[in-house]
Structure 1
Amino acid sequence: MLFISAVRASRVLHHCMLQSVMRAPMCFFDTTPMGRTLNRFGKDIDVVDIQIPLNFNGGIDCLLQVLSSIIIISVTNPVFIAAAIPIGLIYLFIQKLYIGSSRQLKRIESVTRSPIYNHFSETLNGTSTIRAFCAQEFFIGQSNVKVDLNQNTFFCPY
């Protein structure tokens, strides 16, 4: 049911997004790079198709495992409850810090992903010109720089 619902939601989301883009005024296409539009379509559909169902399924599994473990440990060793409460409070504090940092990293990743799609789209449109001037290595290098910048949000470069 979860995956069927995800496919249905993805279909509805894609249809609504496509309708919105097709009905957008021409000034939208003049001011918005093609890479940004492709980025939004690709990322949103990826999230609905893949990430939400897997995260939901993993979250339910993890929740059930943690609850069953806590119940079993609490029944066999009641002193555990006294130690679990302060640890839980510390966990909540750390979680608040993590959520803010994670949100900022996702914003940075999204901002640095759009130039990759834009550069790729422009490169495909200008392939014959790039070959005519033997500038393949230059464009490959530019693409690598943009991908490296995007990956810095996931991996520390040092």
Structure 2
Amino acid sequence: ETGDTGLRPYLLYLNQNKGYLYFSIASLAHLTFVIGQVSQNTWMASGVDNALVSTPKLIVVYLIIGLCSTFFLLVRSLAAVTLGMESSKSLFTQLLNSLFRAPMSFYDSTPIGRILSRVSSDLSIVDLDVPFSLLLAVGATTNACANLVVLAAITWQVVFVSIPVIYLALRLQRYYFATAKALMRINGTTKSLVANHLAESVAGAMVIRAFEEEDRFFAKNLDLTDTNASPFF
């Protein structure tokens, strides 16, 4: 399996149980948090040398901005957790309905390891990795843009340095994406083989012991495990 699926899986994920709403709330909360951080630094830098701003006022305003930023950071975290929970519930319900209503021909033609891989490791990725990875990408992009704007406002010459750096980062990103997607596909394919072999070994444990084939099945399991672990080494 090759190719790039683009943003379609992420849009499908956000389309579950008001995912767009929670994602928008989290993104806006993080943007407000970044603006608060910039405002904090700007206020402190401009107020320290300003004789018209007293020390208590400087500290109070700084603390108020910090507390507001912390509140929006909390909102972002809660929205991210809610996004993950609601989307995972919806996807898990759809998966169970599909499995329970699938015809017997589906189970005859589909290895049990592939099904176990979908309902275990793949759902774990959907539950834990996808929502936080989405918000991490949005947060990193927002932070980078904010830092670039601040640097450009203070030292505009940095724009000429930023353009080739951004271009180089995009080129490296494309190279990394192609490699990472290939490794993830290999991991998913080989992991289903491990789960399928384990399920068959458990189901036929009595026959395996009767014919004293434990060592062969154990060696086969180790070989499949090594193959599955190879993309990570």
Give TM class, smaller chain.
0.7 to 0.9
Q: 2:169 aligns with which of 88, 91, 109?
A: 91
What runs of 5+ residues in structure 2 fail to find an aligned partner? 1-78
Amino acid aligned to 2:185: R
What SS class does the counterpart of residue 231 from structure 2 fall into? coil
Counterpart residue number, 2:224: 146
TM-score, normalising length: structure 1: 0.85
Counterpart residue number, 1:74: 152
Counterpart residue number, 2:214: 136
Larger Rg: 2
Please identify runs of 4+ aligned residues in structure 1 that moved more than 6 A: none
Counterpart residue number, 1:35: 113
Q: How big is the shift at 1:149?
A: 0.7
- CA RMSD in angstroms comes to 2.0
Amino acid aligned to 1:149: T
Aligned partners of 2:158, 2:100: CA distance in 1, in Å?
59
What SS class does the counterpart of residue 78 from structure 1 fall into? coil
Q: How big is the shift at 1:116?
A: 0.5
Counterpart residue number, 1:17: 95
Amino acid aligned to 2:152: S
Deviation sequence 1:89-144 (CA, Å, 0-9, x none): 22222222322222222222211111001011111112233344444343232212
Aligned partners of 1:114, 1:89: CA distance in 2, in Å?
38
Q: 2:131 aligns with which of 47, 53, 77?
A: 53
TM-score, normalising length: structure 2: 0.60
Q: How many residues of Structure 1 are paired with residues of Structure 2 in the alignment?
A: 155
Q: 1:116 aligns with which of 170, 194, 219?
A: 194
Aligned partners of 1:87, 1:12: CA distance in 2, in Å?
40
Aligned partners of 1:90, 1:6: CA distance in 2, in Å?
33
Amino acid aligned to 1:28: F
State the identity as a percent.
28
Amino acid aligned to 1:16: Q
User: Following superposition of structure 1 onto structure 2, how do residues 92-107 of structure 1 map, counting pairs within 5 Å?
Assistant: 92-107=170-185
Asked if the contact 2:113/2:193 (under 8 Å) is kept, the reply is yes
Q: How big is the shift at 1:34?
A: 0.7
Aligned partners of 2:136, 2:175: CA distance in 1, in Å?
22
What SS class does the counterpart of residue 152 from structure 1 fall into? helix
Aligned partners of 2:83, 2:164: CA distance in 1, in Å?
39
* Higher relative contact order, chain-length normalized (CA < 8 Å, sep 6+): 1
Q: How big is the shift at 1:26?
A: 1.4
Counterpart residue number, 2:143: 65
Aligned partners of 1:92, 1:61: CA distance in 2, in Å?
17
Aligned partners of 1:115, 1:44: CA distance in 2, in Å?
14
Aligned partners of 2:83, 2:180: CA distance in 1, in Å?
27
